[in-house]
Structure 1
Amino acid sequence: MSIQNIDVLYTAVATAEGGRDGRVASNDGQLDVVVNPPKELGGSGAGTNPEQLFAAGFSACFQGALGVVARQEKADISGSTVTASVGIGKNGAGGFGLEVALTASIPNVDAETAKSLVEKAHLVCPYSNATRGNIKVDVSVA
């Protein structure tokens, strides 16, 4: 697999202080959150955590990709949602890894159309493209 060059249209910038037990803020002031490890990882669970932020970004991005595909296919995805579940755990190599489950609910199309839209969105979504071949990502329709 080769690294793909892209024509950058936008760059998001965020800075972390204190790692998983600190604060993350964007350079434009739109994001400023306390981060703490979840209780399952020995933290207080008092703030958000990197996995929640990744789930938020992936679900929003995938919903956007679904919209792109739906417009191309002239499909009605109004009322649709995408839920991302991000799991973290030991990877067996002494470190940690992630896995993602994406579930789309598309109430205004039949099951076959929904499945096709989701599969095509998985090819369009930048998060899907960034994680493909790196972590387990399961995509399904509710």
Structure 2
Amino acid sequence: MASSEKKTLYTADAQAVGGRSGHVRSSTGVIDLEMSVPEGLGGKRGATNPEELFAAGYSSCFQQALLVIAQRAGDRLDPDTTVNCSVSLFQEGEGYGLSAVLDVDLKKFDEQKTIEMVRQAHRICPYSVGTRGNMEVELRVKGQAIPVEAAENAGVAEKG
């Protein structure tokens, strides 16, 4: 497939009713959750929120990108590899925004190889590509921030 062709691989559908104090349900019924403002902001216990769902999706998707990067290099990830994602909601003036921190522990690779794999995953992960230029994303390896070039958080993804 030429790099300029776009092919839809999958489309997920979900419906929300009632906003942050409502309910979300996916078309498959796998997600069927009560929503609330985060508990720390006065919401109810036992309900989820958009930031929590985004963090779960981003961490899972980013780990898949790491699996792809490892496979391309002829490597395998340790089964205990973790990707933690923290998504923050903030207010700036009249608007609201999100930022994210991805903290990766690949377990078996040295620090330099891990950093390179995380940076490569950030180039191809659909969440990273979708948020690039719109949302600050910090990359960490075992809690330590790693350098991210401005181009890696702005503009469009690399082709190839």
Matched with 2:21 is 21
Partner-residue secondary structure (3-state), 1:127: helix
User: Which whole-Å CA distance do the structure 2 matches of 1:5 and 1:88 have between them?
Assistant: 34
Question: Which whole-Å deviations, capped at 9, do the CAs of 1:80-114 have from their partners, x for residues lacking one?
Answer: 1100000001022x011000000010111100000
How many angstroms apart in 2 are the aligned matches of 1:51 and 1:72?
A: 31
Equivalent residue, structure 2, for 1:41: 41
Identity of aligned residues (%): 42
TM-score by length of 1: 0.92
Q: Secondary structure at the match of 2:20?
A: coil
Q: Which runs of 5+ in 1 are unaligned?
A: none
Q: Would you say the 8 A contact 2:67–2:76 is kept in 1?
A: no
For the residues of structure 1 that align with 2:140 and 2:6, how far apart are their CA atoms? Answer: 28
Task: Return the alpha-carbon distance in structure 2 between the equivalents of residues 119 and 61 of structure 1.
Answer: 14
Equivalent pair of 2:104/2:141 in contact (CA under 8 Å): yes
Q: 1: CA distance between counterparts of 2:61 and 2:92?
A: 26
- Aligned amino acid, residue 86 of structure 1: V
Q: Which amino acid aligns with 1:106?
A: L
Q: Tell whether 2:110 aligns with 1:102.
A: no
SS in 2 for 1:88: strand
Q: Secondary structure at the match of 1:20?
A: helix
State the SS of the aligned residue for 2:67: helix
Alpha-carbon separation, structure 1, partners of 2:35 and 2:86: 18
In structure 2, the partner of 1:87 is 88
TM-score under structure 2 length normalisation:
0.82
Which residue does the alignment assign to 2:145? Answer: none
Contact 1:37/1:45 (<8 A) preserved: no
In the comparison of the two structures, how many residue pairs are matched?
138
Q: How does 1:1-142 map to 2 (within 5 A)?
A: 6-78=6-78, 79-92=80-93, 94-142=94-142
CA contact (8 A) 1:75 1:109 kept: no
Q: In structure 1, how many angstroms separate the alpha carbons of the residues matched to 2:70 and 2:117?
A: 7
SS of residue matched to 2:116: helix
In the alignment, structure 2 segments of 5+ residues that lack a partner are 143-160
